[in-house]
Amino acid sequence: MNKQKQVRSVLVTGGEGFIGYNLSKRLAEKNFEVTVIDSENPMSGFNPLHRTNLEKQNVRIIKDTIGNISKHEQSVKKCDAVINCAALISHLDSMKNPISDIENNTIEQIKFVDFMKQYPQKRIIYTSTRQVYGKQEKFPVKESAPINPVDSNGINKYTTELYYSLYSNIYSLNSLVLRLTNIYGPGMHIRDKRLSFIGWFINRCVTNNPIELYGEGSQKRDMLYIDDLCDTLISSLNSDYRGTVNVGSDTSSSLMEIALLIKRNNPRISILNVNFPEEIKKIDIGDFSTDNTLAKKLFNHKETVNLEEGLKKTIDYYNKNKGYYL
């Protein structure tokens, strides 16, 4: 596979949220020139501490939505590549307010990709979600698996994927779609349970409260530590592969197993089994396991931090910094 021009300057959208923040830090540490554009919407994971820390690393920050990207054309011209992490990620919120979700996860993205069509030489990576697969029966789930989203968020993210594919075909946009599994680590939103179950589990641990599992907690998820995701994202910058690729872990764990690992870091907390709330049960995907074969082949994707180690690192971080996140 031919390699494109080496990327040294990156625009990160949603760069003050969980994934975007860690990615921007990692890029800056590796001496990339980094510019962040972020709406600073706390509903999507923004945290003021992230902005402060990025500014210390000389990351340039633009406060705006990606739908207004045309106002920042000079920043686009200067970058070699874009990693698009801008999104609302709450599945339950997307059902309660589907209009807001489609405005943020699809309409804003269409405005963005339509502007970017004039720069086909720039690498554009869009971070999508395994949620587009919905409920599956065959595991691990390959990129060719049927698309079956179970909530508005999954529908809107998949719609945006289709636009990236369309613009790649029609306008030769150099785009890559990465479907991410459950990503965790320092910088997650943990204030409430809206954005992720793992963020809420961590909240319960650092505040000495019980972890509540819906049903028996037997649902399986593959969890990937944020640093491993960032390494794969950076590796994909200098690939010319266009298409859709899964990025996750090769190992799935039940929610009960995850809760027990968290409890090792704070034996004082308890684990409770509670009834599945109906509004969540209706959009729960059941088990999930990702096939990472293509990501390994293309980007040397690998998991260097196992779940037990990653959870310990994450809990240690929030024990030191929980005042910024609670």
With a cut of 60, say whether residue 1 has pLDDT above it.
Answer: no
Cα-based distances in Å from 127 to 14, 23, 46, 99, 168: 11, 12, 17, 21, 16
pLDDT for 100 equals 93
Neighbours of 3 (CB within 10 A): 8
Residue 3 lies in a domain: no
With a cut of 70, say whether residue 3 has pLDDT above it.
Answer: no
- For residues 261 and 246, give the distance between their C-alpha atoms in angstroms, rounded to a whole number: 26
The pLDDT tens digits of the residues spanning 90-135 come to 888 889 999 999 999 999 999 999 999 999 999 999 999 999 999 9
140: cis peptide before it, omega within 30°? yes
What's the N-to-C CA distance of the chain in angstroms? 46
- For residues 198 and 94, give the distance between their C-alpha atoms in angstroms, rounded to a whole number: 18
Q: Which domain holds residue 204?
A: 9-324
- For residues 247 and 238, give the distance between their C-alpha atoms in angstroms, rounded to a whole number: 17
Residue 290 lies in a domain: yes
What is the CATH number for 266? 3.40.50.720
pLDDT band at residue 45, thresholds of 50, 70 and 90? Answer: confident
The pLDDT tens digits of the residues spanning 216-234 come to 999 999 999 999 999 999 9
Which 3 state secondary structure label does DSSP give 67?
helix
Q: Which residue has better confidence, 267 or 89?
A: 267
With a cut of 70, say whether residue 4 has pLDDT above it.
Answer: no
- For residues 64 and 115, give the distance between their C-alpha atoms in angstroms, rounded to a whole number: 15
pLDDT, average across residues 185-210:
95
Residue 279 lies in a domain: yes
With a cut of 70, say whether residue 237 has pLDDT above it.
Answer: yes
pLDDT band at residue 40, thresholds of 50, 70 and 90? Answer: very high
pTM of the model: 0.95
Residue 4 lies in a domain: no
Residue 2 lies in a domain: no
With a cut of 60, say whether residue 2 has pLDDT above it.
Answer: no
DSSP symbols for 231-283? HHHHHHHT----EEEEE--S-EEEHHHHHHHHHHT-TT--EEEEPPPHHHHTT
Residue 210 lies in a domain: yes
Residue 154 lies in a domain: yes
Percent of the chain at pLDDT > 70 equals 98
Instruction: Lowest mean pLDDT of 19-28, 256-265, 270-279, name the range.
Output: 270-279
With a cut of 80, say whether residue 9 has pLDDT above it.
Answer: yes
Write down the mean pLDDT value for the chain.
95
Residue 240 lies in a domain: yes
With a cut of 50, say whether residue 314 has pLDDT above it.
Answer: yes
Domains held by the chain: number: 1
Determine which helix (DSSP H) or strand (DSSP E) holds 306, and give its type and residue range.
none
- Per the rule left: phi > 0, alpha: psi between -120 and 50, beta: everything else, 118 is alpha
pLDDT for 5 equals 67
pLDDT for 90 equals 85
**Are the CB atoms for 163 and 109 separated by under 8 Å?**
yes
